[in-house]
Every structure is written in C-alpha cells, then in structure tokens.
Amino acid sequence: MEDTICAVATSLGVGAISIIRVSGNNALNIVSKIFKGPNLKKVKSHTINYGYIYDKDEVIDEVLLTVMLAPKTYTKEDIIEINSHGGINTTNKIMELLLNMGCRLAEPGEFTKRAFLNGRIDLTQAESVNDLINSSSDNQRKLALNNLQGTLTKKIRNLRKEIVSLIASIEVNIDYPEYDDIEVITKDILIPKLNNIKEQIKKIINDSKNSQIIKEGINVAIVGRPNVGKSSILNRLLDEDKAIVTNIAGTTRDIVEGSISLNGFKVNFIDTAGIRETTDVVEKIGVSKSKKIIKKADIVIVVLNGNEKLSLDDEKLIKSVPYKKRIIFVNKSDLKLKIMVKDDYIVGNSKNDDGLDTLKSSIITKLNLENITKDMTYISNVRQLDLLKKALKSLEDALNNLECMPVDMALIDIKNAWNYLGEITGEVYQDELLDTLFSNFCLGK
C-alpha cells in the first residue's frame, strides 16, 4: 500500500490511444521526472494537461496527462493517467521509464483492491467492477452496475444491523442482569425476529437464481426424433449454418451449440442428436448425451414432425420433459399437418421462419424473464451465495438450539451469521481471500 503502482489500463496493441495509470503517494513526483509541460504539483485536481514524455533529452511521445488528487479518486490516492498514442513500443517505453523512476508494476486488480482497502468501495462493489468489465449482455451490465452502486450492500448491511441489535441486547442482559430498565430478550421475542431475518436471507438466496440466468445465460435444448428439423430450426434461430442439415436420419450425432441475445439475455441453444432406439454405437452416445441435456436445460423445445402422426417415441419424449420447462414446436407447417397433440404447441417451419418469433416469445414467458429485470438486486457470484447459505445455516442452528437451551446459548450461532454477512461486503475479511479474489481482475484495474 505504500508503493506507487502503475499499469496499462487499455488493451496493449495498435490503437489510437493508450492509457497508463499511476496511483500512490509518490505519483506526482515520479511522473514529473519524465513529463515536460505544466508543473504537475501546481495544477488543479481533475484537469487534463498537455505536454511531452521525455527520456533524458529524447522525446518519447506527445501526451495528455490527467491529474486527480486524493481523496476524490478511484483509489483515494493521487492518480495520474497518461494518455499516449497507442502502440506497443510507445506504451512499453513509457512503462519502462515509470518503473525506472520508482513505480512498481501493479498486480492484477490492485487499483480496485486499494479502492476497497481505502474504504471507497466494499467487496460486493469491487466484484461488480470485474463483472461490469466482463459483461457480455445488456442485462449483465445492468446487474453489475446496480451492485456497483451499492444496492446489494444496503440489503446486507440492513440485515447485519438487525442481527447486531439482537446480539447487543442479549449481551447486555448477560452482563447487566441487575438493570430493570433494559428489555429482557426472551425466546418469545428472539425467535420471531430471527425467523424474520432468516426469511429475508432465504429470499435473497432464491432470487440468486435470476442472477445466474443473467450472468450465464439460458440453456435451451432442442430435442426430438431424428429428421424432424431440429438442426434447421437451430440454424434459423441463430441465423447461420451452425449445424449440418440433410434428409438422412441421425446426421446430428453430437451436441451443436450457438448463442443469441434475446431481450438482453444470452440464450444458448443446444441442438441434440435425434432420440430413438439405435444399434449404432456412435449414435447411441449422442442419444445418451441428449437425454442428459434435457435434465440440465432451463427450457426444452420438443420438435415434432407435423407431417406425421404422433408416434409412441414422441409421446415418451414429451412426458420425459417437465411441463414447466417444455415448449412443443410442431415443425413443417409448409406441408399437410397430420399430427394431433393434446398439449399447447406452436406451429411453424424453418423454411420461411414461421412460428420462430412465437417460439422466442414463449421462452421469455416460460422463464418470466420480463420480471427478472424489474429488480436487479441479486447476489452475483458463488462466493457471496456460499456465505449467505452459511449465514442461513447459522440462524437455523440458533433457532434449533433455542428449542431446548437458554437464549445466551444461541449467541455464538447468531454472531456467526453476522460475521458471514460481513464477509460478503468485506467488513470482515482475510488477506488470503483478497489476494485470490483480485487475482481474477485485469492488470490495469
């Protein structure tokens, strides 16, 4: 934390501009040694200054230098950003000069780590910075930005306040039993309050499923008997020839995947091998994979050939997919329809895209995607979710103990819950955890 660090904040390569970030107590002194232009120690904070980077008497580059003085900076330290011309050689030369003048190369995520350690952001916000950088869909960006603004932090801190209030009251009862004007925390008072906190945590955990949908996307399996048009539908949904299409049954023997963006969500379509009884060893493996994917998928599109009567294999396949994640698509509507299906279904074909827009809308409706984006305050990663589950378990242990033990015996479990919630925001942390967490960041962040 005492070192002045530097790193390239933009992608290294050929480009119009390259940004080199310097942060630390000695940032002004170090950069002043290689910069000719306005006196950096006299310029106002948050200003852009024109000048040149020099290596002794040699001009290295013409630059714009942004000066931001502590504490109103990303790290709450003095920060200077050097906007140089893009290019590997120029960027590396400026970095070399900074390192020679006393800077240290920043570790991955060290700028954000300093922002956390200096109290500018908490741990959930720090993780959201990385999520924002890595977001690949509009909803991923919104989720990361919402958590970066501290919405999730407020929820967790409010829970901790409720718990610490109970802890304080119990401890006062233990330490000062002679005081008559202090409320005695009995089981009748404590149990309802713990149950209320427990239910709030449960809701956050349940809602975390929405976060996984936003971050990882929706897995949609396309299944059916051989030659019903699964691969053609995949190609039309993706608008590219991803899967090989022939009139030979069993052409698709392995999994073919592709993704699109649907209402801001990443949708991963998975074309599977046709499901049927077969003696072909390779095709058997494909069929086995298809059945496994049906179990894992969020949505399963069961494709039926509308030009044929419903077969026993079709009926078995429909029954094997739970209704809540099943969409039936009757294909080949350009031919005479002979099929009869009892369930709700969509009719269409892949030749002129009939029914495909309805199919996409059905995916949105089936997963209630429109409501997911109304409140973007979700737990966004495995670490946070694991800690929430531990906090929930501690509260459940406390409630179980209260059935046969006095109030003060539940105090340890209640404190554990409070500490686990503190680990989510970083109010309780270990150095090893921080090193691991920030190692996943890019170097200049």
Is 336 in the same domain as 187?
yes
Q: Is residue 413 part of a domain?
A: yes
Q: Is residue 420 part of a domain?
A: yes
Is 166 in the same domain as 286?
yes
Alpha-carbon span 393 to 219, nearest angstrom: 30
Residue with tokens 């910075």: 129
Is 240 in the same domain as 337?
yes
Q: Report angle CA 172, 175, 177 to the nearest 5 degrees.
A: 80
Sign of CA dihedral 397, 399, 404, 406: positive
Give me the domain span that covers residue 178.
138-426
Alpha-carbon span 128 to 133, nearest angstrom: 9
Is 175 in the same domain as 241?
yes
Q: Is residue 122 part of a domain?
A: no
Alpha-carbon span 120 to 263, nearest angstrom: 34
Is 110 in the same domain as 147?
no
Report CA dihedral (225, 228, 231, 237) to the nearest 10 degrees. Answer: -120
Is 170 in the same domain as 300?
yes
Judge whether 341 and 328 are in contact, CB under 8 Å: yes
Alpha-carbon span 69 to 46, nearest angstrom: 7
Q: Is residue 288 part of a domain?
A: yes
Q: Is residue 435 part of a domain?
A: no
Q: Is residue 31 part of a domain?
A: yes
User: What's the average model confidence in pLDDT over 255-269?
Assistant: 80
Q: Is residue 126 part of a domain?
A: no
Confidence of residue 364 (pLDDT cuts 50, 70, 90): confident
Is 106 in the same domain as 146?
no
Judge whether 347 and 306 are in contact, CB under 8 Å: yes
Judge whether 398 and 410 are in contact, CB under 8 Å: yes
Residue 31 confidence (pLDDT): 97
pLDDT over 70 (residue 203): yes
Is 304 in the same domain as 224?
yes
For residue range 77-89, list pLDDT tens digits in order: 999 999 999 889 9
* CA dist 124 → 58, 146, 285 (Å): 45, 11, 43
Is 322 in the same domain as 401?
yes
- The domain tally of the chain equals 2
Three-state secondary structure call for residue 216 = helix
Q: Is residue 123 part of a domain?
A: no
Domain holding 68: CATH number? 3.30.1360.120
Judge whether 307 and 336 are in contact, CB under 8 Å: yes
For the chain, what is the mean pLDDT? 85
Is 101 in the same domain as 221?
no
For residue range 277-301, list pLDDT tens digits in order: 555 555 566 667 777 888 888 899 9
- Ramachandran angles phi, psi of 20, nearest 5°: -110, 125
Domain holding 331: CATH number? 3.40.50.300
User: What's the average model confidence in pLDDT over 8-16?
Assistant: 85
pTM, two decimals, is 0.69
pLDDT over 50 (residue 190): yes
Is 202 in the same domain as 286?
yes
Is 112 in the same domain as 166?
no
